[in-house]
Structure 1
Amino acid sequence: MLDDATKAKWYRIVFDLKKQFGKKPDMNGLIFLIGVRELGQMREFAKHEKMDLMHIATCKLLSYEGYYKFEHIDEEGWPHYSLVQKPPFTDLMSQENRLRKLIVDYYEDNGLFEDMDQA
């Protein structure tokens, strides 16, 4: 369960992205956008690259809780993470709430709420 402050920040993210893209983003869309931001390349991506972007984002988000550790950026600019420990198995709602909290943490850590205020 998310606390009220985290919930409010989550809805702020969703509202801002809906305003920006014209539709409410789903979790996969949010994770993809974080992956693109982490890669730092704006271009068309092949299907396998899109899956890699989602993996990058998931690793980045779970690194906040110590499950993954950033290792390096390869010669093509792709970040690589290593698994420190497996996240615990939880039900879908708990997974969704964990990701929502971690996305809020990501926005805070990267100053993205401030960017939203300036837009």
Structure 2
Amino acid sequence: QKEISDKFGGGEIMDVDAIIYLIGIQELGKGFQKISKDDKINIMHIAICKLLEPFGFYAFDFFDDDGWPHYKVIDELPNLKPGEQSVLMKESIVMYFENREKEAYL
């Protein structure tokens, strides 16, 4: 969290939602553009699907005509307490960045 905050948050600690949003922007791959409130929610959804894909909850399905990725539900998320949700998302964020780092060296 600190490394990402240093890179993107001007040194201020970014919360998990901000990191998820940045992952969604990365996965969308559209670069800088004006984003509507609805699209911000969709970007968060893209990130969550991508983050939970390795756990078997989602699988990439296709890119639509506008280049937005779509995922299909593979397995329903279990009912988790807020603390458990937070741990799952933090774990998935760490895995995401570890995998991206590995891919960069291939």
Same fold (TM > 0.5): yes
Alignment RMSD: 1.6
Corresponding residue number in structure 1 for 2:77: 87
Q: What secondary structure sits across from 1:111 in the alignment?
A: helix
Q: Which runs of 4+ in 1 moved over 4 A?
A: none
Corresponding residue number in structure 2 for 1:17: 4
Question: RCO (CA 8 Å, sep 6+): is it higher in 1 or 2?
Answer: 1
Structure 2 residue runs without a partner (length 5+): none
**TM-score of the superposition, structure 1-length normalised?**
0.79
What is the number of equivalent residue pairs in this alignment?
101
How many Å separate the matches in 2 of 1:31 and 1:103?
Answer: 8
Identity over aligned pairs, percent: 34
Q: What secondary structure sits across from 1:64 in the alignment?
A: helix
Give how far 1:110 is off: 1.1
**TM-score of the superposition, structure 2-length normalised?**
0.88
How many Å separate the matches in 1 of 2:5 and 2:57?
Answer: 30
Corresponding residue number in structure 2 for 1:102: 92
How many Å separate the matches in 1 of 2:95 and 2:5?
Answer: 19
Q: What secondary structure sits across from 1:110 in the alignment?
A: helix
How many Å separate the matches in 1 of 2:57 and 2:22?
Answer: 21
Q: What secondary structure sits across from 1:82 in the alignment?
A: strand
